[in-house]
Amino acid sequence: MIYTVTFNPSLDYIVSVENFRLGMTNRTKSELLLPGGKGINVSIVLNNLGISNTALGFTAGFVGCEIQKRVSEMGICSSFIEVENGNSRINVKLKDIDGTEINGMGPNITEDNVKTLMNKLDRLLENGDFLVLAGSIPSCISGSIYRDIMEMLKNRGVMVVVDATKDLLLNVLELKPFLIKPNIHELGEIFGKELKTRFEAIEYAKKLREMGAENVMVSMSKDGAILISENGDICQAAAPSGKLVNAVGSGDSMVAGFIAGWIENNDYSTAFKMGLAAGSASAFSQQLATKDEILDVYKRAFGS
């Protein structure tokens, strides 16, 4: 079974506004309301690919109820922990204005809430399961939470995927996550470097492997992606051709595609290609990519 954890889910209100004017009343020309958060995005794309999974995390208030409702309507199994104080986030995304976003704070998650999640993970996760820990965490939760979860599951045969930045990621490397997926800018931030080329990405991805990660996949936007696998092989490819429509969730789609490819073939080359195809397909789509969209990009980029 695959489980995803989103510590701060959101309801994403994605709007398009013509001729936006600061300090004036503006009217939308299009609106889209979607459940959001990196782990939820991974769950959606896995579900689109026909792979069952369970979405975990925290929700609160009427916004949390709407998130749960929309996730359920997509056919995704979920087991969110309901938090008493506050509301889940509403994130406003102005897609016509250079990716401008206003993100909410989210609810107050208590130590008891975190213990409930830990107990749930302890009870659910078994040998051979996947656990995806994705995204940032709210300030009310300890910065060691990803490491704490992996420590609890150590030696259980769970394949942990971590898609996070800086200390959240660095703290877990010695516990050997199955896959990490920074983008090239995040990779550079870790080492205090500005990385511009695929050669540089490969060099520093190798360092993360030396620090403990089994597989390191680096997304590079229009320049494609690279993978340093646990056996030391290097996979690399340019981005498939297509028109960028909406980059939100493309990195999460890449994670989902990699997992799907690995489950299907137990082959890192296939997993890498599937990850790149899924990430690109979502970038070419208004919403997260469907199975047909992903397979179409895969065939165009890599053949049947």
What amino acid positions are annotated as catalytic residues? Answer: 252
Helix (H) or strand (E) holding 233: none
Structure tokens at 299: 């065939």
**Radius of gyration for the alpha carbons in the chain, expressed in angstroms and rounded:** 19
Helices (H), the chain: 38-48, 61-73, 111-124, 145-153, 166-170, 184-191, 198-210, 250-265, 268-283, 291-302
CB atoms within 10 A of CB 84: 12
Distance CA(175)–CA(180), nearest Å, equals 12
Residues pairing with 225 in the sheet: 219, 237
